Structure 1
């Protein structure tokens, strides 16, 4: 990763020293470290949605261990050098305001343009040897409302309003 950071610094002209941040004091970090933290958080959120949505256990990591999101971190790391790190350096190079805010917009656009969620699904199916024709789940999905179980996938617009 150090080479990726150095290459992005050279590409964008953003000063790079090292990855350094205090998880308890976000504002004490340099702008590039704030942007990297925000870009990583966005990527982790996307990876978490895909991992959980496909029915995998986010905590059962292969590379990362010891956290309830170990597998999420494993999957996110596959795309960090391609998407999150360049987005962070681009956000700081633009100098358009708070890097943590700018990088989230750049990440959003990159996720859409590169069809990241679809790629993650495809890549997870490959890595976990899930056949292409295998449905995600054959379980009947249900919604939960108060203490009542309600079938999902139903248009309730024509029914009377529930209170």
Structure 2
């Protein structure tokens, strides 16, 4: 990871010393460490959603242990070098607005562009040798509104979607 931090600092021309933060005092970190912490938190949220949606247990970590999100940290770490670390350095190098806000937007954009959620699903299925048939629910999912019940899994937008 140290090499990745150094490469990203050189690529973005952002000053980098070392990864340093106090989990109890976010504001005490320098701006790049705040951006990295915000980026990690956003990526943890994505990983947690995928893990929970597939029915895996977020607390049963392999590398990380001792917390209710140990497995979330394990899975998110597989994507940090590609997603959250570059997003943090890019957010800080932009010098516009709040780095914490910018890094979350960068994470969102990278997750969509690089299809990170789909890749997490594929990687988790591979890791646990799970066939598709075991991850399919036979329940018909519906969206709810105050006016009617609407089928889910349908793009209701009138705008054309581009891949």
Residue 112 of structure 1 deviates from its aligned partner by 0.8
- The two structures, once aligned, show a CA RMSD in angstroms of 1.8
Residue 154 of structure 1 deviates from its aligned partner by 6.8
**Residue correspondences, number:** 148
Please name the residue that 1:44 is paired with.
44
Please name the residue that 2:12 is paired with.
12
Please name the residue that 1:131 is paired with.
131
**Which runs of at least 4 in structure 1 moved beyond 2 Å after TM superposition?**
132-138, 152-159
Q: Determine if contact 2:54/2:135 at 8 Å carries over to the other structure.
A: no
1:10-159 alignment to 2 at 5 Å?
A: 10-137=10-137, 140=139, 153=142, 157-158=147-148
Q: Which runs of 5+ in 2 are unaligned?
A: 150-163
Residue deviations 1:125-144 (CA, integer Å, cap 9, x gap): 01110113433445x58xxx
Calculate the TM-score normalised by the size of structure 1. Answer: 0.84
Whichever of the two has the greater Rg, that structure is 1
Deviates more, 1:126-135 or 1:39-48: 126-135
Calculate the TM-score normalised by the size of structure 2. Answer: 0.84
Q: Which runs of 5+ in 1 are unaligned?
A: 142-151
